[in-house]
């Protein structure tokens, strides 16, 4: 399974480590979508991680280096001339311009208000919260998602701890996963 549906991940989504990990894991083989971002999106991610969350420059440099290494086909360039024609929130026009240039139909962001439907419709782009996006992915590929979450949970202190972390940012997705795990557990008895 290789899904080539392009999805732009906004900086606000990439800042949260557990959420970023989940989103990038489901973009690894078997890939459910192709994540896309620009240097500007990752620069914003880096600034937020360092200034607001206190990560060191060496840690953020390592993160960006790993993203370049493992997702070399995800970088969007050459979109800058489109920025002036975008009508969404000025702070996030670069994100929509990158999506339009890459022909991505989805932007995953917490800042839905920066991507009003009227500004997106001419470009046939939709903005989804990470919760809505992950619910959509889960409904399409529940077993793949559960397998990838199990692998992630093994590095994050177990499934209960991982879902506790996710509860704050992606509660509907967390509920779906918990329900699926309970069903699987009951079926196994």
What CATH fold (topology level) applies to the domain 1-189?
Answer: Rossmann fold (3.40.50)
Report whether pLDDT(108) > 70: yes
Quick one: pLDDT at residue 4? Answer: 81
pLDDT band with cut points at 50, 70 and 90 for residue 29: very high
Quick one: pLDDT at residue 185? Answer: 72
Neighbours of 158 (CB within 10 A): 12
CA distances from 9 to 12, 14, 156 (A): 8, 7, 22
Sign of the torsion formed by the C-alpha atoms of 135, 49, 106 and 90: positive
CB contact at 8 A, 109 and 129 = yes
For the segment 72-92, the average pLDDT, to the nearest whole number, is: 97
Q: How far apart, in whole angstroms, are the C-alpha atoms of residue 42 and residue 30?
A: 24
- SS3 sequence, 15-46? CCHHHHHHHHHCCCCCECCEEEEEHHHHHHHH
pLDDT band with cut points at 50, 70 and 90 for residue 186: low
- Which is higher by pLDDT, 183 or 96? 96
CB contact at 8 A, 93 and 83 = yes
What are the residue ranges spanned by the domains of the chain? Answer: 1-189
- The chain-wide mean pLDDT, for the chain, equals 95
Report whether pLDDT(150) > 60: yes
For the segment 42-70, the average pLDDT, to the nearest whole number, is: 96
Quick one: pLDDT at residue 183? Answer: 87
Q: Which residues sit opposite 106 in a β-bridge?
A: 7, 126
% of residues, the chain, pLDDT over 90: 94
CA-nearest of 124, 118, 163, 127 to 12 is: 127
For the segment 146-152, the average pLDDT, to the nearest whole number, is: 97
pLDDT band with cut points at 50, 70 and 90 for residue 188: low
Q: How far apart, in whole angstroms, are the C-alpha atoms of residue 164 and residue 131?
A: 14
For the segment 84-105, the average pLDDT, to the nearest whole number, is: 98
Phi, psi (deg, nearest 5) at residue 123: -105, 0
Assign 88 to helix, strand or coil: coil
């Amino acid at each position: 399974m290789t899904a080539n549906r392009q999805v732009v991940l906004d900086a606000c989504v990439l800042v949260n480590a557990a959420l970023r990990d989940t989103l990038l894991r489901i973009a690894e083989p078997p890939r459910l979508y192709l994540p896309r971002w620009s240097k500007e999106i990752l620069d914003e991610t880096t600034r937020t991680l360092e200034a607001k969350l206190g990560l060191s420059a060496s840690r953020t440099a390592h993160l960006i280096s790993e993203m370049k290494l493992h997702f070399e086909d995800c970088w969007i360039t050459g979109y800058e001339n489109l920025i002036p024609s975008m009508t969404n929130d000025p702070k996030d026009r670069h994100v929509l311009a990158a999506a339009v240039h890459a022909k991505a139909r989805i932007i995953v962001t917490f800042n839905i208000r920066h991507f009003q439907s009227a500004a997106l419709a001419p470009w046939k782009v939709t903005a989804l919260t990470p919760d809505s996006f992950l619910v959509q992915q889960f409904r399409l590929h529940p077993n793949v998602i559960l397998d990838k979450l199990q692998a992630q949970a093994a590095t994050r202190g177990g499934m209960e701890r991982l879902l506790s972390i996710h509860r704050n940012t992606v509660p509907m997705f967390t509920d779906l996963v918990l329900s699926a795990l309970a069903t699987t557990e009951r079926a196994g008895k």
